Amino acid sequence: MSDEYLIGKEMNLVGKDFVPQDVQPKVMGTGKYAEDFKKEGMCYMKMLLCPMPSANVTNLDASEALAMPGVIGILTADDVPPTDEPGYPMLTMKPRQLGMPICAIAAETEAIACEALERINVTYEPQPFVLDPLESLYPGGPNALESGNVTGGGPDNAPIHTAKWDARVFAEAGEDRLPMGDAPVEWSVGDVDAAFEEAALVIDEPFVTASSSHAALEPRSTLAYWENGKCFIHGSSQSQSWMMPGLARMMQVSLDDIVYIAEYCGGGFGAKASPYPIQGMTAYMAQKINRPVMIRVTRAEEYHLGGTRPGFQGQVKLGFDANGKMTAADLYIVQSGGPNRGSGDYSSAAGALALVYTPTHMRFRGAAVVTNKPWHVSQRGPGQNQLATVVEPLMDRAAKELGIDRLAIRDLNSPEADVVFSNRNSTVTSMYLKEAYNLGAEKFNWEEKKALSGQRNGSKVIGIGVGSAYHSAGSNGFDGLISIRPDGKLYVHSGVGNLGTYSYAGTCRAAAEVLGVAWENTVVLRGDSRHGLPWTLAQFGSNSAFTNTRTNFVAAVKMREMLKSLAAQELGGEAGDYEVANEAVTNTSDASLTMSLADAATKAIELGGEWDGHEYPDNLNDVTKSAMQHVQGLGIVAAAKDELFKEGSAAGMAASFCMIELDTDTGKYEILEMNNIADCGTVLHPQGLQQQLRGGAVMGIGEAVLDRMIYDPQNGLCATVGLYQTKPPSILDIPSVIETDAVNQPDPQNPFGVKGIGEPAMGSAAAALLSAISDATGTYFNRTPVDPDMIINALAGRDQSFTPLQVNV
Amino acid sequence: MKDMMPNFNLVQPADLASAVSALSDAGEGGWAMAGGQDSLDWFKDRVKRPSTVVDLSGVAELSGITETADGGVEIGAMTTLTDVENNAVIQEKFGVLAMAAGRVASPQIRNVGTLGGNISQDARCWYYRAGLDCYRAGGNTCYADTPEGMNREHCLFGASRCVAVTPSDTAVAVATLEAEMVIVGPGGERTVAAADYFIGPDVDIERMTVLEPGDVLTKIRIPGKWAGAQFFFEKVADRNTWDFPLVNMAGAMKVTDGMIEDISLTCGGVECVPRKLSVVEDIVRGSAANEETANLAATSAARGASPLNYNHFKIPLMENLVKKAIRG
């Protein structure tokens, strides 16, 4: 750990609450989202979406539509760069998903555009389709794409290949077990089979986790136009500078010719991390018709095109010794994807099992199967959170069968800081899950509460639950960029998006902390690439807090050295004779030798070159280099790449406790108490953390018991294209209070001790609620979400309406 | 999916006669719009395409709650659900209706949605709502009642080509209270008992009520019969707000010295119409209002049910709700 790190030192900003700059505009309604922008000459675009799960369009005649007054133009697959499978096309004549865009119409009004779409004469040739991955793996089963049905683990690392399993595998498995054919992806540690032989308890269950929509409140509307050869895009994204290279590639222009504006984002949850086809489609239409083009994406379109969490069908086998130590774990996941390259949820799930429960021996097998359902993409805690909902109730079951306290079995199996896990021998930067359990148990009063488990009051019964989750919550290697200008203020250029977590602002405080600049004299520049925003990772993976306190730290440390050198150059002496404090650079032996930050900025502009950003390190990313043109000459400019030490996963951990009262007559329950405890290193922003832990808990409740996508297997139609159909939790489905806290132990690989938390905060709450439901009902459902109908059937001793591995229900 | 209404003629009458006249002129292409909470969705989805929409919100005589001589209450069909929920007389005398109104959708929807609109609302079958050419939409197939149809929300009783259910929370309450519906149409005013107001697919597969083109439901008359009874309302839905019932149940019981003198019990979400549980009523009338009676009654609650692929949970749920209603 570097001496310059601030861990253990008194900090003025880190760990303190503040009001991020976007709070007031959000409250007052003055913040401008993509749809709020207008541009002179702007027209509107509407998309023609495929009405079936897979088709070849054999005829597309738009002549009648184009002849309508007010219709400006059409964009077809011929007008945009082609996409090879398993990429997701912008427009296509071979739509492989219900709702995949075929063409788009631009018109003076949306009403005209909509009318015009109905006058396009389209002939569809329906194609075989598949919605259930196991059906695609069955011999002779349909492939969702012409190029194959499985992504990942193929021969020669091909992006997609075809895999069919022997019918015998299916026949032997029957309906109650996952058929387990040859796995495209497989790893193991130790001797799993031998460990099961010796286990005191073996639990072996099939499971399903449903695919669910990201359901962002703001659909992915886009405004695009071209000016002076530059492509301007107003988008809804959770990332900022991460978008730049992808948009440049998509539009086939240089980085310098992309202007990306995304100051606000009404939710992304993983599905707005990177550029998406609608953005390109809008910009290509704007280019073709030479007009600014706005597309306001509808709710139903968002359900088709806004991404869904990959669902799992799986089999998990866990072995325990008599003390409750997990000695063996065997996990097989068949992951459902959309008609495109899948996400890595299944592998992440395996990693989470390996870390959170530290099985002595473990095997993972997985297959990621493409289907003709919507684009599947990472959603908050991709893989880790599904895994938490699968394994945590089974930890309860193991504890009960072995006669061990449910918290004790978790404590016994939870990792220490020196953990080495998975086939990669991965390590962590820090680990305080045990401490999170302890803190949560203390606040929840576990000992007292567990005595209430099963207590009945008429038809009501008490259930007590506990759960945890993990996410690798921090990255490194990105750039920091700050400037001090002649107004004497510190400008922190943030390439972080505004997902809604306020971490774009919290991480900027790192630079002010290092330089001792008051927050009132710190300006956060963000949300518009013309501010000159440095390269950083997408705002996903709970990484921003860890990643960008590092980038701003390195930039601020560099700035400090520049200021000292500049002062020495101007005032005499050596750089080491100076310190940066009280918003000035002052000689530590002679206080009269001092230079204000404003003067330093003016001097830097005079000197130019390396001082004002005209020259910069060559190891910066191209995005940062492109950003420098907006910054150079404005003051003293420090740009630096994060080359600080990092090894292992910056493990963000969360533990949650929950008490419910379940009505055995209705299958409904009230969540009487819930808490959510973070191991997120040093707390960066207490209110922001509280918001993440509570918001995560709400979303976790949705994952556990509400959110899902439903499809009719006969025709591929989707039953869930509205918020009232997918049913994210309402205010009355969550507890009125969700207690939060953090162990607040620093991560040694971050200069401030900070690491992320957003994603595990969801999985922990989901797992705790499922644990409580199982506790109240005595049933382990092995499926999410657990709907009231499942609880009613279980309590009535009835079979469920679906088979154990059935999906899309 | 389109989120863009096609054009239509909008008529905003200030009195009932003009409204009826406008609807009558429009014939089959006419659409009476109450609170608009459902109508606007239909239009924006471009599934229902009326030529003329008659917005009833300006017809003042359709709103209001007044007590009647028989100890009952008369509720204008355009009275908002919030007003029904908060009305002191309804709360005091006909609490089951206040409870039901308070469980409809969400506060925002209840502030705009009306009692008349809520009880008369169309089926929520997702296939039908998607604009498919099903029987109810004038086509010749049912997508829900098929070997693999997704029909968790659909019916246990009364299937007749269509398997949709009544999604209304207030309909079961007004049926329990044996309300009368006052309808004004081109031919004048008529009164229809709640039991006859709601119609199943065997009567007319394209309508949920007896309302004909040109008709306006003007009032819901609650008779004094059940005033002050022991009421029960429970709605079981996935979510606790902004959701339709999986099953709901409304009950009114007159209990004297622990004995059930009279009872009215209606179940929603299991049939196209609010299902009056007459058999259960017959079983428990004259019995003690206790667990034993409740358990006995429950055994008959779902008798004759024909579950579909995904909705057999409604059978124990009906049974449990009957138990809950009777044991109090």
Tokens (6 digits) for A22: 């976007």
A 10 A CB-CB count for A135 gives 16
- Look at residue A508 in the predicted model and tell me its pLDDT: 98
Cβ contact B4–A802 (<8 Å): no
> Minimal Cα–Cα distance from A719 to chain B, Å?
6
pLDDT tens string A237-267: 999 999 999 999 999 999 999 999 999 999 9
Q: How far apart are CA A665 and CA A323, in angstroms?
A: 37
With bands split at pLDDT 50, 70 and 90, how would you rate the model's confidence at B302? very high
Confidence band, pLDDT 50/70/90 cuts, at residue A2: confident
Cis peptide before A275 (omega within 30 of 0): no
Q: Are A248 and A529 in contact (CB under 8 A)?
A: no
The answer to whether residue B1 scores a pLDDT higher than 80 is no
CB contact under 8 A, A788 and B246: yes
Percentage of chain B surpassing pLDDT 90?
99
Residue of A nearest to B237 (CA): A788
Nearest to B160 by CA among B6, B306, B283, B39: B306
Q: Are B73 and B65 in contact (CB under 8 A)?
A: yes
Is beta strand A71-75 parallel, antiparallel or unpaired with respect to A361-370? unpaired
The predicted pLDDT at position A225 comes to 98
**Secondary structure of A304-336 as H, E, C letters:** HHCCECCCEEEEEEEEECCCCCEEEEEEEEEEE
Q: How far is CA B125 from CA B16, B144, B153, B244, in A?
A: 32, 8, 8, 11
Q: Report the SS3 class of residue A668.
A: coil
Q: What is the pLDDT of residue A301?
A: 96
CB atoms within 10 A of CB B68: 12
Please give the pLDDT value at position A59.
98
User: A111 and chain B: CB distance < 8 Å anywhere?
Assistant: yes
pLDDT greater than 90 at residue A341: no
Measured at the alpha carbon of residue B214, what is the angle toward residues B213 and B218, in degrees to the nearest 5?
115
Cβ–Cβ below 8 Å for B149 and A714:
yes
Mean pLDDT across chain B: 97
Q: Which of A280, A278, A277, A346 is nearest to A309 (CA)?
A: A346
**Would you say how long chain B is, in residues?**
328
Chain B residue numbers with beta carbons less than 8 Å from the beta carbon of A795 are 316
Q: Which residues between 661 and 680 in chain A have a beta carbon less than 8 angstroms from any beta carbon of chain B?
A: 664-668
CATH class of A34-127+222-295: alpha beta
Min CA distance, B80 vs chain A (Å)? 21
Structure tokens at A250: 């998509």
Task: Give A-chain residues touching B239 at CB under 8 angstroms.
Answer: 706, 727, 729-730, 732-733
* DSSP letter assigned to residue B91: H
Count A/B contacts: CB-CB distance under 8 Å.
124
Q: How far apart are CA A793 and CA B312, in angstroms?
A: 8
pLDDT score at B268:
98
User: Domains of chain A: which residue ranges?
Assistant: 23-31+477-641, 34-127+222-295, 312-474+648-795
State the smallest CA–CA distance between residue B180 and chain A in angstroms: 31
A713: chain B residues, CB-CB within 8 Å: 148
pLDDT score at A1: 66
Q: Which residues of B touch A118 (CB under 8 A)?
A: 46
User: Would the CB atoms of B236 and A730 count as touching at under 8 Å?
Assistant: no
Annotate A734-784 with three-state secondary structure.
Answer: CCCCCEEEECCCCCCCCCCCECCCCCHHHHHHHHHHHHHHHHHHCCCCCEE
**CB proximity list for A685: less than 8 A, separation 6 or greater:** A15, A16, A17, A18, A502, A503, A505, A506, A509
> For the residues A683-689, what does the mean pLDDT come to?
97
- Comparing CB atoms, the residue among A300, A715, A727 nearest residue B1 is A300
Q: Which are the contacts of A689, defined by CB distance < 8 A and separation ≥ 6?
A: A678, A680, A683, A740, A742, A757
**Hey, what are A627's tokens?**
């950003």
Task: Search chain B and give the residue with CA nearest A664.
Answer: B320
Do A312-474+648-795 and A23-31+477-641 fall under one CATH topology? Answer: yes
Structure confidence by residue, pLDDT tens digits, B187-202: 999 999 999 999 999 9
Q: Decide if B240 and A809 are in contact by the 8 Å CB cutoff.
A: no
Residue A658: pLDDT over 90: yes
Distant-in-sequence, close-in-space partners of A781: CB < 8 Å, separation ≥ 6: A393, A770, A773, A774, A790, A794
Name the residue facing B239 among A719, A733, A802 (closest C-beta). A733
Judge residue A40's burial from the number of C-beta atoms within 10 Å of its C-beta, 0-12 exposed, 13-18 middle, 19 or more buried.
exposed
Q: What CA dihedral angle connects A745, A747, A753 and A757, to 10 degrees?
A: -80
Arithmetic mean of pLDDT, B163-178: 98
Query: pLDDT band for position A708 (50/70/90)?
Result: very high
**String of DSSP letters for A632-651:** TTSSEEEEEE------SB-E
Please give the residue of chain B at the shortest CA–CA distance from A803: B310
CATH of domain A23-31+477-641: 3.30.365.10
Q: Does the interface ipTM go beyond 0.95? A: yes
Q: Which residues of B touch A (CB under 8 A)?
A: 1-7, 46, 106, 126-127, 130, 132, 143, 146-150, 152, 234, 236, 238-244, 246, 309-313, 316-317, 320-321, 323-324
Helix (H, G, I), strand (E, B) or coil at A34: helix
- Which chain A residues are within 8 Å of B324, Cβ to Cβ? 459, 665-666
CATH class of B1-58: alpha beta
Question: Residue B29, Cβ neighbours under 10 Å: how many?
Answer: 15
The answer to whether A792 contacts B320, with C-beta atoms less than 8 Å apart, is yes
Q: Mean of the pLDDT values across residues B91-104? A: 98
A533-557, pLDDT tens digit by residue? 999 999 999 999 999 999 999 999 9
- The amino acid sitting at B82 is T
Bridge partners of residue B234, in order along the sequence: B249
Best CA proximity match to A391, nearest among A204, A116, A599: A204
Which residues in chain B are contacts of A706 at CB distance < 8 A? Answer: 238-239
Identify the three-state secondary structure at position A554: helix
Q: What is the DSSP letter of A277?
A: H
Q: Searching chain B, which residue's CA lies closest to the CA of residue A113?
A: B4
Nearest CA in chain A to B328: A458
Interface test with A, best of B43, B133, B238, B314 (most A CBs within 10 A): B238
Average pLDDT over residues A738-766: 98
Query: Would you call the peptide bond into A179 cis, given omega within 30 degrees of 0 as the criterion?
Result: no
Residue A694, chain B, CB below 8 Å: the answer is no
- Nearest by CB to residue A665, choosing from B106, B244, B320, is B320
Q: How far is B313 from chain A (nearest CA, A)?
A: 6
Choose among B5, B150, B246: nearest Cβ to A710.
Answer: B150
- Report how far residue A368's alpha carbon sits from residue A362's, in angstroms, rounded to the nearest whole number: 20
Which residues, at least 6 apart from A656, have a Cβ–Cβ distance to it below 8 Å? A440, A466, A467, A468, A674, A675, A676, A677, A697, A700, A764, A765, A767, A768
Amino acid found at A520: E
Which among B7, B126, B310 is the nearest to A801, CB-wise?
B310
User: CA of A111: which chain B residue's CA is closest?
Assistant: B4
Tell me how far apart the alpha carbons of residues A577 and A570 are, in angstroms, rounded to a whole number.
Answer: 13
The residues that bridge with A319 in the sheet, in sequence order, are A202, A328
Residue B328 has pLDDT above 80, yes or no: no
Whether pLDDT at B100 is above 70: yes
Q: Output phi, psi for A58, to 5 deg.
A: -95, -15
Which of B3, B149, B234 has its CB closest to that of A299? B3
pLDDT digits (tens, 9 = 90+) for A406-455: 999 999 999 999 999 999 999 999 999 999 999 999 999 999 999 999 99
- Cβ pair A666:B127 closer than 8 A: no
The closest CB to that of B1, out of A110, A301, A730, belongs to A301
Q: Which residue of A459, A713, A789 is in closest CB contact with B152?
A: A789
Matching fold, domains B1-58 and B63-328: no
Q: Do B241 and A731 make contact, defined as CB atoms within 8 angstroms? A: yes
Q: With CB atoms and an 8 Å threshold, state whether B241 touches A721.
A: no
Percent of chain A with pLDDT over 90: 99
C-beta atoms of A111 and B234 within 8 A: no
**Taking CB atoms and an 8 Å limit, are B236 and A798 in contact across chains?**
no
Share of chain A above pLDDT 70, in %: 100
Indicate yes or no: CB of B317 within 8 angstroms of CB of A719: no
* Average pLDDT of the residues in A557-576: 98
**Are A597 and A583 contacting, i.e. CB atoms less than 8 angstroms apart?**
yes
> Between vectors from CA B290 to CA B288 and to CA B292, what angle results, nearest 5°?
95
From the CA of A795, how many Å to the nearest CA of chain B?
9
Fold of the B63-328 domain: 3.30.465
Cβ contact B46–A114 (<8 Å) = yes
CB proximity A109 to B under 8 Å: no
CB within 8 Å: A114 and B243: no
Query: Which residues of chain B make contact with A210, given a CB cutoff of 8 A?
Result: none
β-partners of residue A657 are A466, A675
Average pLDDT over residues A181-199: 98
Is A802 in contact with B310 (Cβ distance < 8 A)? yes
List pLDDT tens digits, range A292-307. 999 999 999 999 999 9
Whether residue A371 has pLDDT greater than 60: yes
A154 confidence band (pLDDT: 50, 70, 90): confident
How far is it, in rounded angstroms, from Cα A72 to Cα A62? 12
Instruction: Give SS3 for A65.
Output: helix
φ/ψ of A706, rounded to 5, equals -135, -55
Taking a contact as any Cβ pair under 8 Å apart, which residues of chain A between 253 and 292 contact chain B? none
Could A732 and B246 be called an inter-chain contact, meaning their C-beta atoms sit closer than 8 Å?
Answer: no
Q: What is the largest CA-CA distance in chain A?
A: 87
Q: What CATH number should be reported for the domain whose range is A312-474+648-795?
A: 3.30.365.10
Q: What is the mean pLDDT of residues A132-146?
A: 98
Q: Cβ–Cβ of A459/B321 closer than 8 Å?
A: no
Q: What is the tens place of the pLDDT at every residue in A461-510?
A: 999 999 999 999 999 999 999 999 999 999 999 999 999 999 999 999 99
Burial tier of A513 (Cβ tally within 10 Å: 0-12, 13-18, 19+): buried
Residue A609 reports pLDDT greater than 80: yes
| pTM listed for this prediction | 0.98
The full set of domain ranges for chain B reads: 1-58, 63-328
A615-631: pLDDT as tens digits: 999 999 999 999 999 99
Asked if A85 and A160 touch (Cβ cutoff 8 Å), the reply is yes
Determine whether the interchain pair A298/B236 forms a contact, defined as Cβ–Cβ distance below 8 Å.
no
Q: Could you give the residue ranges of the DSSP H alpha helices within A184-262?
A: 192-198, 243-251
